[in-house]
Amino acid sequence: ARRGAHGGGKRRLGVMGGTFDPIHHGHLVAASEVAARFQLDEVVFVPTGEPWQKSHKHVSPAEDRYLMTVIATAENPQFSVSRIDIDRGGPTYTKDTLRDLRELNPGTDLFFITGADALSQILTWQDAEETFSLAHFIGVTRPGHTLADPGLPDGSVSFVEVPALAISSTDCRDRVAKGDPVWYLVPDGVVRYIDKRELYRGE
């Protein structure tokens, strides 16, 4: 990782958690924009294990979501992918993700990047107080959602406006199921991977 992009001091690591079923350009532009604004050395994408808030829905196998995330980020030297949530097994809690990442990255400040929709649900997350002590939170704008301070501890959240891409994984899955194209919504390699693995066909 490139150190000192911010001119010395502690390493700054962005954390982009998500189901990534599939990863799309909305995720990528949010990570890129926050990395530039906050002078992050690196952004690590962390695909969830069994996503507890979505356990009632069908979610693609973790290995497929992991590989699509690797394909989508491989060209960017500032982006990486972590298997920690997948390998831990069971539902993913953000506090476990952040705790593990802190252990793996001593002397590093963590910046957890989250879209407006996820941020508004933040107080329903498990152990919100502990979660907020582990990282600085960055709420990014997302079309169709209002970016509002959900009443979090002072100074624990920053807000960033990112280029508006009205793309969601749900819409990508629906499009594939209907036979509509997802070109230019997700990276080319992800289009080909979805096709190769026949993901989202029967939904």
Q: Residues interacting with ligand ATP, by CB under 6 A? A: 18-21, 26-27, 30, 114-115, 117-118, 140, 142, 162, 165, 167-170
CA gap 148, 173 in Å, rounded: 28
Which amino acid is present at 61?
P
Least separation in angstroms between residue 58's CB and ligand ATP is 11
Strand segments (E) across 130-180: 136-140, 157-160
- Containing 101, the helix (H) or strand (E) segment is helix 94-104
**Closest distance of CB 41 from ligand ATP, Å:** 20
Which C-beta is closer to ligand ATP: that of 18 or that of 187? 18
Nearest to ligand ATP of 7, 183 (CB atom)? 183
**Residue sitting closest to ligand ATP (CB):** 115
| Rounded CA separation 134/49 (Å) | 20
Nearer to ligand ATP among residue 9 and residue 61 (C-beta):
61
3-state secondary structure 19-84: CCCCCCHHHHHHHHHHHHHCCCCEEEEEECCECHHHCCCCCCCHHHHHHHHHHHHCCCCCEEECCH
**Nearer of residues 19 and 82 to ligand ATP, judged by Cβ:** 19
- Shortest Å distance, C-beta 170 to ligand ATP: 3
Query: What is the CA 111 to chain-centroid distance, rounded?
Result: 12
Distance in Å, CB of 28 to ligand ATP, minimum: 9
Residue identified by tokens 């992991």 is 66
Q: Residue 81 or residue 162: which is nearer to ligand ATP going by CB?
A: 162
Please state the closest distance from residue 107 (CB atom) to ligand ATP, in A: 26
